[in-house]
C-alpha cells in the first residue's frame, strides 16, 4: 500500500481543499461529550478524544429512515439525497467495525440504502490515544490495514498517510505538493516506537481467548442470572456498538388514508419485544436470554462463523453501560465464575 508523508501543519490546508468533494465531518466537542459533527475545518475538531458516543455507523445506516412510500398502487423506494461526506478522524477500531457492517450489508442481498451511503462517504482515519476502556489490543484492532480511503498516523512532527483506495488517492491528487515519499530511517524508527507506545497504552485486561468454549461450557451458568439481575434492558450497549446492526421496520400511515411510509430504525435485542411473534409467543421473554444472546452473538457465534469475534474493542459498552455489564466484565465473570463488584 502507498504510504506518504505529510507535515502536520499542512493537514488544515488539506482538509480545507477536500471539502470541495463533500461535507467535512469529524469528532467535535458538544458540551461534555464528543460526537461526529459537521465541521468547517480542523480547528473545530478534537482529535485527542478517544471515542465518540455513537460510532460512525450512523452515517452509513441512520437511526431512522424511510425505505418506501406506499399507497394502494404499491411500494415506491424512497431515494433521498445523500450528500458526499468525508469523515475525518475515524479510529482503527471503528474502521474494523465498518468492515463488519460491509460484510453484512453488502455481500448477500446487497442493501441499497447502506450501499449508497457507503459509496458517498469517504473514510479518513486517524491514529488515536487509547484510554483505560480501550480493548483493541485484545482484539488485534489497534491498527488497520484496509477499509479506509486515507489513514493518518500522527508521529508528532509528521503524519504518515496510508492511501487505501483510489478515491483516497484522488484526494491526495487535489494537493499533491502537500505529500512526499521521502520516508527515511527516522520515520521507520518513529513509526515502530509509535506501535510499541500504542500497544502499551491499552491495559483494559480484556481477554477473549478461548471464548467459544467458555461460552459453551457456561451456557447454563448461574453467572448469567446474576448479570441479568443487574441489567436494565436499556439497550444502550447495542446503540453504541459499532457492529450492532439490528433494525425494526414499521409502516406509518396517514390517518384516514392508505398512504404512508415504511420506516426502518435501530432495534435492540435487549428489548423485550425483540423476539416476540404474533400470537404472543416470545422466544426470549427473560432478560437473561436476551443478555446471553448479545454476548453469545458477539463473542461466540461470530467466531464460529468468521473466525473472530464481532467485538472491535472500542470500549463503548464499557463507557456506556450504567451497571457495568460489558464485554470485559462478562468474559471475566464467565471465565472466573464470579460476577465482579
Partner 1 sequence: MKRLHVILDDREVDENPYQPDLWRIVRRYPLTSDVNFYQARAVDVDKTLTMDYLPGQFVMGSVLGEGEAPFSISSTPSRPGLLELCVRKMGTLTETLFSLKENQTIGIRGPYGNGFPIDKMEGKDVLIIAGGLGAAPLRSLLLYVLDNRDKFGKLVYLHGARTPGDMLFREEFMQLKEREDLECLLTVDKDDTGSWTERTGVVTSLFDEMGPIDAANTYAAVCGPPVIYKFVIQHLVKLNIPKHQILMTLERRMKCGIGKCGHCAIEYLYTCMDGPVFTYWDVLHMKELIGKGVSDNVIA
| Residues at the contact surface with partner 1, assessed by CB under 8 A | 67-68, 70, 72, 74-75, 77, 102, 104-112, 115, 118-119, 146-149, 164-166, 168, 219, 245-251, 253, 258, 260, 262, 267, 269, 274-279, 281, 283, 289, 293, 296-297, 300-302, 304-305
Query: Which DSSP letter does residue 42 get?
Result: G
CA distances from residue 294 to 29, 146, 333 in whole angstroms, order as listed: 30, 27, 15
Q: Please say which residue, 166 or 182, places its beta carbon nearer to partner 1.
A: 166
Cβ 297 vs Cβ 310: under 8 Å: yes
Return the C-alpha cell found at 90: 475515524
Burial readout 237-246 (b: 16 or more C-beta within 10 A, e: otherwise): bbbbbbbbbe
Q: What torsion do the CA atoms of 291, 294, 298, 304 make, to the nearest 10 degrees? A: 90
Distance CA 325, CA 331 (A): 10
Q: Please say which residue, 147 or 313, places its beta carbon nearer to partner 1.
A: 147
**In the complex, what is the shortest distance from the CB of residue 151 to partner 1, in angstroms, rounded to a whole number?**
11
Q: Please say which residue, 200 or 249, places its beta carbon nearer to partner 1.
A: 249
Cβ 288 vs Cβ 228: under 8 Å: yes
Q: Please say which residue, 57 or 133, places its beta carbon nearer to partner 1.
A: 57
Cβ 322 vs Cβ 290: under 8 Å: no
**In the complex, what is the shortest distance from the CB of residue 103 to partner 1, in angstroms, rounded to a whole number?**
9
Distance CA 16, CA 23 (A): 11
**In the complex, what is the shortest distance from the CB of residue 302 to partner 1, in angstroms, rounded to a whole number?**
7
Q: What angle do CA 199, 202, 206 make, to 5 degrees?
A: 120
Q: Please say which residue, 134 or 270, places its beta carbon nearer to partner 1.
A: 270
**In the complex, what is the shortest distance from the CB of residue 161 to partner 1, in angstroms, rounded to a whole number?**
15
**In the complex, what is the shortest distance from the CB of residue 1 to partner 1, in angstroms, rounded to a whole number?**
10
**In the complex, what is the shortest distance from the CB of residue 248 to partner 1, in angstroms, rounded to a whole number?**
6
**In the complex, what is the shortest distance from the CB of residue 7 to partner 1, in angstroms, rounded to a whole number?**
25
Q: Please say which residue, 127 or 245, places its beta carbon nearer to partner 1.
A: 245
Q: Which residues pair with 158 in a beta bridge?
A: 7, 155
Q: Please say which residue, 176 or 277, places its beta carbon nearer to partner 1.
A: 277
Cβ 263 vs Cβ 67: under 8 Å: yes
Amino acid at each position: 500500500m502507498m504510504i506518504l508523508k505529510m507535515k502536520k501543519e499542512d493537514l488544515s490546508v488539506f482538509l480545507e481543499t477536500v471539502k470541495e468533494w463533500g461535507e467535512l465531518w469529524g469528532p467535535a466537542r458538544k458540551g461534555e461529550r464528543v460526537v461526529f459533527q459537521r465541521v468547517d475545518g480542523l480547528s473545530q475538531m478534537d482529535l485527542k478524544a478517544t471515542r465518540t458516543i455513537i460510532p460512525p455507523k450512523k452515517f452509513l445506516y441512520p437511526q431512522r429512515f424511510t425505505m418506501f412510500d406506499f399507497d394502494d398502487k404499491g411500494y415506491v423506494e424512497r431515494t433521498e439525497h445523500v450528500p458526499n461526506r468525508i469523515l475525518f478522524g475515524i479510529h482503527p477500531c471503528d474502521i474494523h467495525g465498518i468492515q463488519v457492517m460491509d460484510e453484512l450489508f453488502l455481500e448477500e442481498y446487497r442493501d441499497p440504502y447502506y450501499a449508497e451511503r457507503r459509496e458517498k462517504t469517504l473514510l479518513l482515519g486517524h491514529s488515536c490515544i487509547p484510554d483505560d476502556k480501550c480493548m483493541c489490543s485484545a482484539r488485534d484492532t489497534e491498527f488497520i490495514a484496509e477499509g479506509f480511503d486515507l489513514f493518518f498516523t500522527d508521529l508528532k512532527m509528521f503524519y504518515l498517510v496510508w492511501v487505501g483506495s483510489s478515491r483516497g488517492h484522488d484526494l491526495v491528487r487535489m494537493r499533491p505538493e502537500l505529500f512526499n515519499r521521502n520516508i527515511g530511517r527516522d520515520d521507520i524508527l518513529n513509526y515502530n516506537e509509535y506501535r510499541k507506545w500504542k500497544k502499551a497504552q491499552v491495559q483494559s485486561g480484556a481477554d477473549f481467548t478461548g471464548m467459544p468454549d467458555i461460552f459453551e461450557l457456561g451456557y447454563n451458568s448461574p453467572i448469567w442470572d446474576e448479570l441479568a439481575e443487574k441489567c436494565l434492558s436499556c439497550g444502550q450497549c447495542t446503540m453504541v456498538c459499532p457492529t450492532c446492526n439490528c433494525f425494526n421496520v414499521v409502516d406509518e400511515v396517514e390517518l384516514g388514508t392508505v398512504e404512508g411510509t415504511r420506516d426502518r430504525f435501530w432495534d435492540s435485542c435487549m428489548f423485550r419485544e425483540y423476539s416476540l411473534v404474533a400470537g404472543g409467543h416470545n422466544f426470549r421473554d427473560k432478560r437473561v436470554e436476551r443478555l446471553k444472546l448479545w454476548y453469545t452473538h458477539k463473542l461466540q457465534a461470530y467466531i464460529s462463523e468468521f473466525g473472530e469475534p464481532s467485538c472491535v474493542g472500542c470500549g463503548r459498552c464499557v463507557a456506556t453501560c450504567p451497571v457495568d455489564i460489558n464485554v470485559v466484565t462478562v468474559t471475566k465473570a464467565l471465565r472466573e465464575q464470579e460476577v465482579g463488584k
